[in-house]
Amino acid sequence: MSNLTIVMYHYVRELKRSRYPEIKGLPFETFKEQVAYLKKLYYFVSARDLFECRENGSDLPKNAALLTFDDGYLDHFQYVFPVLDKEKIPACFFPSGKCILERKLLSVNKIHFILASVQNKRQIVQHICDAVDTSQPDFSLPKSEFFLENLRKPGRFDTADVVFIKRMLQRDLPEVFRDAIIDDLFTRFVSKDEAAFAQELYMTTEQVECLKRNGMYIGSHGYDHYWLDTLSHEELTREIERSLAFLQQIGSDTRNWIMCYPYGAYNEAVLSLLKQKGCSLGLTTEPRLAFWGKDDYLTLPRLDTNDILKVQGED
């Protein structure tokens, strides 16, 4: 058994000079410093290394580390890739198919930019509660007080208000209803031109293919970035199959592949379907080291970049 440090990244950009400095991202300079720090202490492994070690039942190199980048942001091509390419560091990228192929904003990203654009989060909370109470009979919903009592609790990196907003708009309201609320908030506080915003936020198919040609691994992050554990069997099957079709389109192998769970969410039904579809490895958001050969290969934990920053600060 050997330890594997899997690090998870999302936004990496020149935050202070960006239009949305309040977005929860990693400043580019900090990313470069973190890569230099990790390079001193770890041996970077690739997806191919993991596949081969799993197939052979062998251990990973000592102090193995894997870098992972979620959601398909243009940040990853513009800022991350040049650093990795220069340092000869392999990494895994997990774009959701919809944002790359259809050039449409994912709801999760609309929520990010709504939060980054509204300083007083209670304003968003109140908007959601008003919408719930107004539309309660149409969707057979509990009153807003029920949701506030059960969901408004602080998380690892978010305040209670932000957790409430995310859970309501990502998962706990009916999809049609929550999408309508998200679109209203996004238009009001962020942008009226969703297509232009998506073009600015995500990589193109050609850029994803460029990453792959240059030794980076491209894996699955779903197609619509749903909470997979909330889907029916039919919805789940469609979501996974559409994601695999996207991987095939960009030339990524779908006989031996990695699933990066959106929101870290999965259940036994998800794991069962992934096994049927030939998935080799699955990445969660459980914040700890992975114990290679002991942990379930379909539920490997990952450290957030902020966890690495804490360790850096202690050195």
pLDDT for 137 equals 84
At residue 299, the pLDDT reads 98
pLDDT tens figures, 58-83: 899 999 999 999 999 999 999 999 99
Which residues are registered as beta bridge partners of 27? 13
**What pLDDT does residue 67 have?**
99
Question: How many Å apart are CA 54 and CA 51, to the nearest integer?
Answer: 5
DSSP per-residue string spanning the chain:
-EEEEEEEE--EE-GGGSS-TTSS-EEHHHHHHHHHHHHHH-EE--HHHHHHHHHHTPPPPTTEEEEEEETTBHHIIIIIHHHHHHHT---EEE--HHHHHT----HHHHHHHHHHH-S-HHHHHHHHHHHHHHHHHHHTPPPHHHHHHHH----SSS-HHHHHHHHIIIIIS-HHHHHHHHHHHHHHHT-S-HHHHHHHHB--HHHHHHHHHTT-EE-B--SS---GGGS-HHHHHHHHHHHHHHHHHTT--SSSEEEE-GGG---HHHHHHHHHTTEEEEE----S-EEETTS-TTSB--EEHHHHHHHHHH-
Residue 284 Cα distances to 40, 158, 198, 253, 267, angstroms:
26, 18, 26, 21, 11
First to last CA, the chain: 27
Q: Which residue type occupies 169?
A: L
Average pLDDT of the chain, as a whole number? 95
290-292 and 2-9 strand pairing: antiparallel
**Kind of pairing, strands 64-70 and 303-304?**
unpaired
The model's pLDDT over 223-243, given as tens digits with 9 standing for 90+, comes to 999 999 999 999 999 999 999
Is 194's pLDDT higher than 80? yes
Kindly report the backbone phi and psi dihedral angles of residue 95, in degrees, each rounded to the nearest multiple of 5, phi listed first. -85, 145
Q: Where are the domains of the chain?
A: 2-103+202-307, 107-196
What average pLDDT score do residues 192-221 get?
97
User: Is the per-residue pLDDT at 281 higher than 60?
Assistant: yes
Residue 136 is predicted with a pLDDT of 85
Looking only at the bridges linking them, the beta strands covering 92-94 and 43-44 are unpaired
User: Regarding the domain delimited by 2-103+202-307, which CATH topology (the fold level of the hierarchy) does it fall under?
Assistant: TIM Barrel (3.20.20)
Question: Is the predicted pLDDT of residue 313 greater than 60, yes or no?
Answer: no
Q: How far apart are CA 53 and CA 134, in angstroms?
A: 55
Cβ proximity of 16 and 27 under 8 Å: yes
pLDDT at 119: 94
Predicted local distance difference test score (pLDDT) of residue 314: 53
91-109 tens-digit pLDDT: 999 999 999 999 999 999 9
Q: What is the pTM of this model?
A: 0.92
Q: What is the pLDDT of residue 213?
A: 97
Predicted pLDDT of residue 312: 54
Instruction: Please write the tens of the pLDDT for every residue from 127-145.
Output: 999 999 999 888 889 999 9
